[in-house]
Each structure stands twice: as C-alpha cells, then as structure tokens.
Amino acid sequence: MANSMGDILHLLRKRPRLVVMAGLAILAVLTAEHLQISGPSLSRGWENLLIILSEAWPPDFSVLTNRASWANPACNFESDMLCSPAFIGLVQTLEIAFLATLFGALISLPLATMAAHNLSPLWLSTATRNLLAGLRVLPSLIWALLFVIVVGIGPLAGVLAMTLYTIGYLGKLQYEALEGVGKHPLEVARAMGLSRPVVARYFAIPEASNALISQILFMFEYNVRHGSVVGLVGAGGIGWYMQYYIAPFKLYDRVLALLIVLYFTVVIIDFISLRIRHRFIESEEIRKPRWRDVFLPQK
C-alpha cells in the first residue's frame, strides 16, 4: 500500500502537468455541483433546444420583405423592403454603432492622453485610468438597461450605452498605444518647453495614429456585434426586433432569418474593416487579408 502511494507520488512529481489537469477537473466538478448543474437539467435544455431549432427552421425571410408597421421610430419609406424589420433593424444597428464609435472615440482620445503614463503626471493618469476602468465594469447590456430606464425605449438608449462602453474600452486600448510611442519625439518636444497637451496632440497622437485608427475600426466592428445585444433590452437596433419576435410571439423562424442577415452583415463589415486596418498596420511582411481571415485566426 505504502509502496503504491509512493509510486503515485513519484508519478505526480514526474508529471506536474497531470497534477494541474486533475486539479482543474476536480475544481470543475465541484463548481458545477455548487451551481446545481446536473445531467437532467442539461438533457432538458437539449430537448428545448431541439424544439426551438425545429420551430426556427426553415427561416422566415418575410422579415426582409414585409413592412414593420410597429417600427420604432416609424418608417416613412414607401418601399416595404426599406421598412422591413431586417432592414430597419440593421440600419439602426449600424447607425447606433457608428454614433457610439464616433462619440466614444472623440471623448476617449483626450482621456487616453490623460491616462498615459508618458504624457501625464502620475496622479492624473491614475485617476483617469480608474475612471476608464469604472466605465468598463458594466457591460454595454447593463448600461443599455440603465439608459432604457432613463431615456426610454429606442436607439438613443443604445447610443448612450455603447458610447459609455466605447469610452472605457477604447480609452484603455488608446492609452496603451500612446504609451508605446518611442520616447525620442516626446523628449524633443519637452526640451522645446511645450506643454503636455501640445506634446500629446502634435507628437504622441500622430506617432501612434496608425494604431489608433486601427483600434477605432476594431471598436466599430465590436459595436456592430454588440448593437444587436443591447437591442434585446429595448435599446434599438436589430436586437429590438428580435426581442419583439421572441418575447410575445415566439416566432423563432423570423428570429433565425434576422440572425442570418446580421451574420452576413457582420462578416462583410469585418472584412472591410480588416482591409482598411491592414493599410494602417506598419509591418510590410503582413500579407493582404483574405475572406477566410474573417473566420480563421491569422498566422
């Protein structure tokens, strides 16, 4: 017995990876048990999923042709297609993402210069970083819930929610890019006696401009994807139309059609953004992006 225990301990010492994997497995089981995740509840979920899938298939693409008379805000075009839930929802999602990215970038850039250690005194950068972290604490969905309560159902709540989240998220990316700027241009500017805001505006931001533009485009992509999520709580966009079909009517075939439309839109935007961002990436060795790069990670 003592011998076999010794063998096990010897094996564990020789294979530390085995110990880590066993530890993780035990932790996973204990966590699932604490959350009361059980086999029966999983199988029940599976059954429900099959029911939803059977009701969703085939997708009902009338969402692209039928007029949404209940649209919010109301659609005044004569063409039914231009006033269809898919079209209105998609355009609203893109508009929300555009405005949130624009306002977010305009506000986050000055904040990022204040948060960058190489451009601001320690007290200011620490305070600004805490503010940006605070904005990131709540996901855009929770911000949307708050703004739906404050300004009511509609795209305004979505724009406000996603602008706040954009400031927090983009601000962090931007101050990291600004801190990556070489010290030499900044030293030249400081030796001239220029003030911190002037050093940031004329030396640091232009030097980091490629990274900053690339991050703004990435944020737009991100906001288009999340624009559909905030709609689920009433903050406008295609998500609001999905929620309209799910909650009272359970029209999963129309929801699936909207999801397919959204999927292709996101893929197209990802590709366009990838192509534009490629122009701003400095390394000459990076090849031109292709369609498959949207789906697969780049080497």
Q: Is 118 exposed, middle or buried (0-12, 13-18, 19+ CB in 10 A)?
A: middle
Q: How far is the CB of 102 from another protein (least distance, A)?
A: 20
- Sequence-distant (6+) residues with CB within 8 A of 143 are 160, 161, 162, 164, 165, 230
* Side-chain half-sphere exposure of 292, counting CA atoms within 13 A: 3
Nearer residue to another protein within complex by CB, 71 or 178? 178
| Interior/surface letters 21-46, b for 16+ CB within 10 angstroms, e for the rest | eeeeeeeeeeeeeeeeeeeeeeeeee
Closest CA to 95 of 163, 180, 8: 163
Q: How far is the CB of 210 from another protein (least distance, A)?
A: 6
- As a whole number of angstroms, the distance between CA 178 and CA 176 comes to 5
Q: How far is the CB of 283 from another protein (least distance, A)?
A: 12
Nearer residue to another protein within complex by CB, 194 or 266? 194
Binding site for another protein (CB under 8 A): 182, 184-194, 198, 202-203, 206-207, 209-210
Q: How far is the CB of 116 from another protein (least distance, A)?
A: 16
Nearer residue to another protein within complex by CB, 70 or 202? 202
Find tokens 């929770």 and name the residue. Answer: 142
Q: How far is the CB of 108 from another protein (least distance, A)?
A: 20
Nearer residue to another protein within complex by CB, 6 or 182? 182
- As a whole number of angstroms, the distance between CA 78 and CA 69 comes to 12
Q: How far is the CB of 294 from another protein (least distance, A)?
A: 27
In this structure, what token pair is assigned to residue 22?
């066993």
Nearer residue to another protein within complex by CB, 134 or 182? 182
Q: How far is the CB of 174 from another protein (least distance, A)?
A: 15
Find tokens 């404050």 and name the residue. Answer: 150
Nearer residue to another protein within complex by CB, 96 or 186? 186
- How distant, in Å, are the alpha carbons of 188, 206, 207 from that of 182? 11, 12, 9
Listing DSSP states for 213-231 in one string gives: HHHHHHHHHHHHHHHHHHH
Helix, strand, coil % over all residues of the chain, rounded to 5: 75, 0, 25
Nearer residue to another protein within complex by CB, 139 or 185? 185
Q: How far is the CB of 18 from another protein (least distance, A)?
A: 45
- How distant, in Å, are the alpha carbons of 6, 107, 171, 215, 227 from that of 23? 19, 45, 38, 38, 39
- As a whole number of angstroms, the distance between CA 110 and CA 204 comes to 12
Nearer residue to another protein within complex by CB, 72 or 118? 118
